[in-house]
Amino acid sequence: MVKFLDLNEIQEMTESDNYADNLNRIRELSKQVKALDLLDPSSKVVNILTEIVERGRHIPELEMVERKVMNIDNCEAEA
């Protein structure tokens, strides 16, 4: 049986891991999600994506890349 974690449990885990642990866990988690799962995600997929995002938020190197590569504030979606 799969145990789903709540957001507080995920945050506690990600804050205690270093960036290498977080990157390795993100790689493991990403292998569990297929592109088609994103069209109609199950609760399991949503939980996995939540953990990926939370772990990514705790990697300062990714934050620097985001600021240098993309300026999200000025992006507009085209219809």
Cα angle 49, 72, 34; round to 5: 25
Taking the C-alpha atoms of residue 46 and residue 69, their distance in angstroms, rounded to an integer, is: 27
Residue appearing with tokens 């990157």: 23
Q: Could you report the per-residue pLDDT of 2-43, keeping only the tens digit for each?
A: 556 666 766 666 566 777 888 888 999 999 999 999 899 999
Residue 44 has pLDDT above 80, yes or no: yes
Taking the C-alpha atoms of residue 43 and residue 53, their distance in angstroms, rounded to an integer, is: 15
Q: Could you report the per-residue pLDDT of 65-79, keeping only the tens digit for each?
A: 555 555 555 555 554
Taking the C-alpha atoms of residue 41 and residue 32, their distance in angstroms, rounded to an integer, is: 12
pTM, two decimal places = 0.60
Residue 50 has pLDDT above 80, yes or no: yes
